[in-house]
Amino acid sequence: MKLIVLDRDGVINFDSDQYIKSPEEWRAIPGSLDAIARLNQWGYRVVVATNQSGVGQGLFEMDTLNAIHEKMMKAVAQVGGRIDAIFFCPHTNADDCACRKPKPGMLKEIAMRYNTDLAGVPVVGDALRDLQAAAAVNAQPILVLTGKGKLTAEDPALPPGTPIYADLAAAVTKLLAP
């Protein structure tokens, strides 16, 4: 089974410092939906792993998060792709949970659900915490320069050997290259 894990905000859709709090605020980054469809065509299962502390902070409710994810899933389906699963952490930093990236709990849950080892599995993110979570489970961290990516690229804590791409479309093109 070929598996890839994507962060949501800043990788698939535009991010916001004020959080994505409604389906209307969710806007796909150009090329990201087609990139997901190409991954599917090449036999990849696409899974999203996203921190959503806005829920824990009371900025939006679970039904709103579900509506945002429904919009994302429909947008991907309209270009012939699919997201196989969405894993999210609703907690805040203060909760000190095991699932909030940079901790690897969410990725460990994905490994358990798919009964697979994540060693070498591509994990695409725009924030250092995405890449640190990937490194913690021996997955392959991949940085995209969309979202927080440009700042992250300058961080000395970037896991060694992390490839950097302009966006998800460029990362997928490289990943699928023979």
CA–CA separation, 27 and 42 (whole Å): 25
**9: annotated active-site residue:** yes
The SS3 assignment for 87 reads strand
| Local confidence band at 60 (pLDDT 50, 70, 90 cut-offs) | very high
Confidence tier at 121 by pLDDT (50, 70, 90): very high
63 a catalytic residue: no
* Residue-range domains of the chain with CATH: 2-176 (3.40.50.1000)
What's the whole-model pTM score? 0.97
pLDDT at residue 81 is higher than 90: yes
Please say if the pLDDT value at position 120 is more than 90: yes
pLDDT at 178 over 90: no
pLDDT for 66: 98
Q: How confident is the model at residue 17 (pLDDT cuts 50, 70, 90)?
A: very high
At a CB cut-off of 8 Å and minimum separation 6, what does 123 contact?
A: 4, 5, 6, 7, 49, 107, 130, 131, 133, 134, 139, 140, 141, 142
For residue 137, list its beta bridge partners.
none
DSSP-assigned letters across all residues of 137-163: TT-EEEEESTTTHHHHHT-TTSPTT--
**Residue with tokens 């995405």, as numbered in its chain:** 130
Q: Which residues contact 101 (CB under 8 A, 6 or more apart)?
A: 7, 49, 51, 89, 125, 127, 129, 130, 132, 133
The mean pLDDT value of the chain amounts to 97
User: Structure tokens of 173?
Assistant: 């093109």
Q: How much is the average pLDDT of 92-112?
A: 97
Residue 131 has pLDDT above 90, yes or no: yes
